[in-house]
Structure formats: C-alpha cells, structure tokens
Structure 1
Amino acid sequence: MFNPFKKKFSPSELNQFDFLGKARFFQDLSFDELARFLPAIHQRKYERDEVVFFRNDPSQALYILEKGEVTLNIDVRGNFETIIKLKEGRPFGENSMLADSKRIYTAIVSTEEAILWVIPNYAILEIFKNNQKIEAKMMTALADFYNETNQQLFSSYRNSYGFFNLGQMFE
C-alpha cells in the first residue's frame, strides 16, 4: 500500500545505503535506520603505508573501506605481522561501537591509496542511546563477528598446536 507520508530518499542517499547496507554491522538496518548515520559519515583518503590507527589508540571511529586495501596487523617483538588484508566494502575498527575501548590491532593502508568511510565513535554511541533497536541489531552483528573470530582463533590454534600458549589469552 502506498504511503504518501513515507520519507523519500535521494539517489545519492540510496547509493550510500547500498554501500553501507552491504557492510557487516549495518546489513540488518532499514533505510530509515541507515539514514541516522549519514550526517556523521565522512570520507577520508589515505596513502600507501599511512597508519589509520595504532594498537592501544582510543577507538574513535568505525571505518568502512570504499577503495583500496588495508592490512590489520599485530606487533610482535617490534615488527608488524599481518593478520588480514581487507578488501573494499569491509568494515574495521569495530570496537568503536563500544564505549571507552582501545584498538587491539594496527591498521595500515597497503595500496597506493585508500578511501575510507569514517563514522565517529561519539556519533555511533549517540545513535545507540537514542535508538535501542539499532543498537540491538548492531550489537548482535558485533557478537556474531566476535564469535566467528573466536572460532577462527581456536581453529588456528588447533592447527598449530604447541606454538603458543592459549591459556595466556584468558589470564
């Protein structure tokens, strides 16, 4: 049934919804829910080897990779070891959806340039405060992500048993 009072979105907004809606954490949100994020989003261009953030930095923003490639790294004895290379459309810095968190890895641009969508932590938390439905959907997606990551960690540990002490993770 046609509702003449339903908000209409511009072609530009619809393109933004299409991109944002494909990114993990936003997939279950409606257009009206996605629209709440648009005023907070800005794009930023980075160059090769530029650090997006370092491990232990405050988690000040969630990023979505529009163009290029970013590596997520851990520092081991003064050297960076790549955990994963992210391709276009992938979000990272997910712990910015949590209040007062710090980065657990370092993110570095690995292509000539990368274009990132940046959503500040304060804006995410404000949206959550004013809309518990959005918060519930995104926290469920975050919990699913962390569950998958834990499964991958334990699987990797089983495959390389003896190279590190998994018990240290829970100390």
Structure 2
Amino acid sequence: MRNPFSKTYEPEEIQMFEFLQGIKFFERLRQKELARFLPTLHHRKYVKDEVVFFSKDPSQAMYLIKKGSIVLTIDIKDNFETIMELGKGEAFGENSLIQNAKRTYTAIIASDEAQLIVIPHFAIQEIFDSNPKIKAKMMTSLAEYYNANNQRLFRSYRESFGFFSLRQMFE
C-alpha cells in the first residue's frame, strides 16, 4: 500500500528521475533525493564542433547528454586526440563533483546538434552540504567510475608496454 504522506511527482518529473537514474553518478539516489536536483537542471543546445569546455578550465558544471554525441579529447602538442565518444544517457564533466577541480580533457560536440542538461558546480555543492547521504552515494559512484578508468588505463598500458612509463604519473 502506498504511503498517503509521501510526495507524488508529475509525469515529467518521473521521466527526469528515470533519465537521471540511468546515469552512473545518480544511480544510487531515490526519487526524493533526485528531486533536490530538479531546480538546478539547465537545458542547453549545442551544434557540431562547439566546444563545451577546454582542458584545464575550472570544473564549473556537470553535463548530462539528452541527445547527440560528444567526444572527449586530450591535447597532445598541437592536436586533439580522442579519448572516447559519449552519447545519450551518459555524463561528462564528472570532476565538477570535486571541489576546486580543473578539466582533464576537452569536450566537443560530435553530432550535428546536442541537447545537454547542465548542473552547475555550486548547485551540486549546495546539495552536498545539506545532504551528506546524497554526497556519499554520488562520491561512491565517482570512485567506482575512476576505479574503472584506472583499470582501463593499466590494461592499455600493459598492451602497449614501452610507450610511456607509469612512474611519470607520480612525478
């Protein structure tokens, strides 16, 4: 039986909750917790080859892809080398969950157009400050994400042994 005192949500809110829960960093959150993010979501449209942010920029927002595709690149000398391509239902700019972080890659729109949901860093931090459980759940997801990235990095290193030294990571 449904609790008569629990909040009910509009169909478009439930649709947004389902979208958010499909994204790694929000997967552990309940509807009540996700509702805290609703007023912080900004919908933006971008066009092909538009830069969302550059490497070394301050991490001022997290981005969720509603439509389109984005390539994440790293700058190597005068070229951009693609790290990965992301599509609908994926997030990038995840280090905006961390205080005082800088971008580690450049994000560029790959599709003809893209619709992104932008969540400003300051809004995320306000939610974290007033909701330690939300912060703990999202930081656990971030740690898992970074752990998976480390595993891929080390696997790639083993497969291309000799091209670079892992010791350089810690110098």
What is the TM-score of this pair, normalised by structure 2?
A: 0.99
1:43 alignment counterpart: 43
The match for 1:62 is: 62
What are the Cα deviations for residues 21-56 of structure 1, in whole angstroms up to 9, with x where unaligned? Answer: 101110010000000000000110000000000000
Query: Alignment partner of 2:34: what SS?
Result: helix
Partner residue, 2:167: 167
- Residues paired across the two proteins, number: 171
Query: Alpha-carbon deviation of 1:57?
Result: 0.3
1:166 Cα shift?
Answer: 1.5
C-alpha distance after superposition, 1:46-71 (max 9, x if no partner):
00000000000000000011100000
Per-residue CA deviation, residues 134-163 of structure 1 (Å, 9 max, x unaligned), is 000000000000000001000000000011
Question: What is the deviation of 1:5?
Answer: 1.2
Q: Mapping of 1:78-97 within 5 angstroms?
A: 78-97=78-97
* 1:49 alignment partner AA: D
**Match in the other structure for 1:3:** 3
Structure 1 stretches lacking a partner, 5+ long: none
Secondary structure of the structure 2 residue equivalent to 1:149: helix
2:166 aligned partner, one-letter code: L
Q: Which runs of 4+ in 1 moved over 3 A?
A: none
SS in 1 for 2:26: coil
Amino acid at match of 2:61: A
Give the match's secondary structure for 2:24: coil
RMSD of the TM alignment (CA)?
A: 0.6
Q: CA deviation at 1:3?
A: 1.6
Q: Which blocks of at least 5 consecutive residues in structure 2 are unaligned?
A: none
